Amino acid sequence: MITGSLLILALPLLVFTLAASSVLWRFYLQQLEADIAAQALLMADTVAPSLAAVATGHLPDGAFSPEAIASRWRRRSDARITIADARGVVRASSVGEGVGAPIDDTRRPGMRTALSGRSNATVWRSPNFVNEDTMYVNVPAWYGGQVTGVVRVAHTLTSLRKRVAQLRQTLLVAVLLYTLAIGLCTVAFAASIVRPAERLQRDAERIAGGDLSHRVEVRGPEEITQLARTLNHMTSRLEVLEGLRRRYVSDVSHELRTPLTAIRSMAETILKYGDSDTSLRERYLPRILTQTDRLARMVTQLLDLAQIESGHYVPALTPLSLAEVLDEVALTNAARAADLGVALDVRVSDRALSVRGDRDRLVQVFMNLVDNALRYTPRGGAVTLSALSTRGHVEVTVADTGQGVPPEHLPHLFDRFYRVETARSPLAGGTGLGLAIVRQIIESHGGRIKVTSSHGKGTLFLIELPGASPSPLATRSSNPPTTESQE
């Protein structure tokens, strides 16, 4: 990324530098040519009369001789002056070269062209000056309408080249320094992002490795601190879940062990003393059966609960008549209620009342609630199932006139394995899982469950289910039941 951005930055600057130095070079060259041409023109005008005199042999008053002009320019180091007459014979040279000889255009171009009346300028690499470009400007000397000779000014381009090269070098150094500075800034910036990200990754690996108590330091750029906070939040939740899982496993083990221990000790007693005391069999075998039933029920309920809680359970929601469900539950429990001397009634305000739900699961819910109500209601009491519709919801209540639940137990009633009194005849078969399952089923239907109870007077479970019509139905609600205080 850094290399890429630097290239993008540096390349245009480099191209610009090269283009600028080439433009400058051409500009300087034009300027030089104009300068030299002006000088040459001036000299040609000055020397024209004396060149005209070469033919007549008479030098007019105040005319400068070619020698005088050439010697005046001798002091200028990088300009060389050559003056030839109309016949093409060199009359004077600032470097004292080839005087008296005819001009030689193979070595110094353009002089003969100027003799025919045309000024010209060329850049030429003279064999005399190795590797040194020279600009030649040839100007005809006019006098009395005649070309009387030619003045040539030669100027090497060495110093010009040096100047442009220096400029280019300065620009290149500037580009280099600039690119370097930007590069360093980019590296520093990238490091400020990458280093915290690497730190975060190490932390995440540590947490993934099982160290759930580890927390990430919240430091660095905004994006990183946000990520760190999220990671910490996630880790906290994992830690809580891990704690719940441990507690769950230990609860389950404990709950399974109690009946197993009882079964084992009763079986052992029968085995040891059963022959001598035959009444032991009659006493213990039914209890063994009851405990085995309870164990089996517990396992079934645990599997049920696990299935519902796994999140894979989505109730098959179909519109169904609530009255029918409640009637079925009442009918199934009618004989038992009669045995117990408890009145079991169904009161539905509207027979057409319907909800969307999984029929079997809803039957399971009310079976559980009625089972509890019958169990904790003494002879002569009443258990009432009722339903009414309110604001798109359907409210179902299961009320009894039983012993009730002491208020301090109410917040825990829906917890797994929670029973108000553990001493309350374990042989009666309670597992403490029934209400946990009830809550899970109701919530998976997008409903809610509440419990109110007054000790000694009775208990009331209130269930709120989404109605079947108009049917804006949540498949899964996150609302906890009101009495629930944890998880």
Q: Is residue 430 near ligand ADP by the rule CB under 6 A? A: yes
Residue (52 or 413) nearer to ligand ADP, CB: 413
User: For residue 120, what are the β-bridge partners?
Assistant: 138
* Contact present, 44 and 151 (Cβ < 8 Å): yes
Q: Which does 459 bind (CB under 5 to 8 A by kind): Mg ion, ligand ADP, none?
A: ligand ADP
Segment contacting ligand ADP by CB under 6 A, of 204-212, 258-266, 325-333, 433-441: 433-441
Could you give the C-alpha distances from 164 to 17, 159, 201, 439, in angstroms and in order?
11, 9, 54, 89
Phi, psi of 153 (to 5 degrees): -115, 125
3-state secondary structure 157-175: CHHHHHHHHHHHHHHHHHH
User: For residue 463, what are the β-bridge partners?
Assistant: 396, 449
Type of residue numbered 243: G
Both tokens of residue 466?
């989404």
Identify the residue whose tokens are 């209620």. Answer: 337
Q: Which does 376 bind (CB under 5 to 8 A by kind): Mg ion, ligand ADP, none?
A: ligand ADP
The residue within the footprint of Mg ion, chosen from 434, 446, 458, 466 (CB under 5 A), is: 434
Residue (326 or 413) nearer to Mg ion, CB: 413
The residue within the footprint of ligand ADP, chosen from 435, 441, 442, 463 (CB under 6 A), is: 435
Q: Is residue 49 near ligand ADP by the rule CB under 6 A? A: no
Q: Which of 86, 77, 56, 54 is nearest to 67 (CA)?
A: 54
> What minimum distance in Å lies between the beta carbon of 413 and Mg ion?
10
Q: Rounded to whole angstroms, how far apart are CA atoms 401 and 382?
A: 6
Q: Is residue 285 near ligand ADP by the rule CB under 6 A? A: no
Q: Rounded to whole angstroms, how far apart are CA atoms 197 and 191?
A: 9
Segment contacting ligand ADP by CB under 6 A, of 28-36, 183-191, 411-419, 470-478: 411-419
Q: Is residue 372 near Mg ion by the rule CB under 5 A? A: yes
Binding-site residue total for Mg ion (CB under 5 A)? 2
> What minimum distance in Å lies between the beta carbon of 331 and ligand ADP?
20
Binding mask 454-473 for ligand ADP (x = CB under 6 A): -----x--------------
> What minimum distance in Å lies between the beta carbon of 472 and ligand ADP?
31
Type of residue numbered 121: A
The residue within the footprint of ligand ADP, chosen from 251, 281, 418, 477 (CB under 6 A), is: 418
Q: Which of 156, 439, 113, 104 is nearest to 304 (CA)?
A: 439
Q: Rounded to whole angstroms, how far apart are CA atoms 167 and 175?
A: 12
Binding mask 386-425 for Mg ion (x = CB under 5 A): ----------------------------------------
Residue (85 or 255) nearer to Mg ion, CB: 255
Q: Which does 353 bind (CB under 5 to 8 A by kind): Mg ion, ligand ADP, none?
A: none
Q: Which does 481 bind (CB under 5 to 8 A by kind): ligand ADP, Mg ion, none?
A: none
Cis peptide before 127, with omega less than 30 degrees from 0?
A: no
Q: Which does 402 bind (CB under 5 to 8 A by kind): Mg ion, ligand ADP, none?
A: ligand ADP
Q: Which of 267, 208, 255 is nearest to 234 (CA)?
A: 208
Q: Which does 420 bind (CB under 5 to 8 A by kind): ligand ADP, Mg ion, none?
A: ligand ADP
Q: Is residue 432 near Mg ion by the rule CB under 5 A? A: no
> 127-156: which residues touch Mg ion (CB under 5 A)?
none
Phi, psi of 48 (to 5 degrees): -55, -45
Binding-site residue total for ligand ADP (CB under 6 A)? 20
For 388, the enclosing helix (H) or strand (E) is strand 382-390
Q: Is residue 483 near Mg ion by the rule CB under 5 A? A: no
> 360-399: which residues touch ligand ADP (CB under 6 A)?
368, 372-373, 376
Q: Rounded to whole angstroms, how far apart are CA atoms 260 and 282?
A: 19
Residue (248 or 418) nearer to ligand ADP, CB: 418
> What minimum distance in Å lies between the beta carbon of 370 and ligand ADP?
9
Q: Is residue 155 near ligand ADP by the rule CB under 6 A? A: no
Q: Is residue 420 near ligand ADP by the rule CB under 6 A? A: yes
Q: Rounded to whole angstroms, how far apart are CA atoms 94 and 377?
A: 137
Residue (183 or 429) nearer to ligand ADP, CB: 429
Q: Is residue 400 near ligand ADP by the rule CB under 6 A? A: yes
Q: Is residue 295 near ligand ADP by the rule CB under 6 A? A: no
Identify the residue whose tokens are 């989404």. Answer: 466
Phi, psi of 117 (to 5 degrees): 105, 5
Segment contacting ligand ADP by CB under 6 A, of 57-65, 168-176, 204-212, 431-439: 431-439
Q: Rounded to whole angstroms, how far apart are CA atoms 375 and 369?
A: 10
What are the residue ranges of helices labelled H in 1-86?
2-56, 66-72
Exposure string over 428-466, b if 16+ CB within 10 A, otherwise e: eebbbbbbbbbbbbbbbbbbbbebbbeeeebbbbbbbbb
Within 8 A by CB and 6+ apart from 32, the residues are 135, 155, 157, 160
Q: By the criterion CB under 6 A, which residues form the site for ligand ADP?
A: 368, 372-373, 376, 400, 402-405, 413, 418-420, 430-435, 459
Q: By the criterion CB under 5 A, which residues form the site for Mg ion?
A: 372, 434
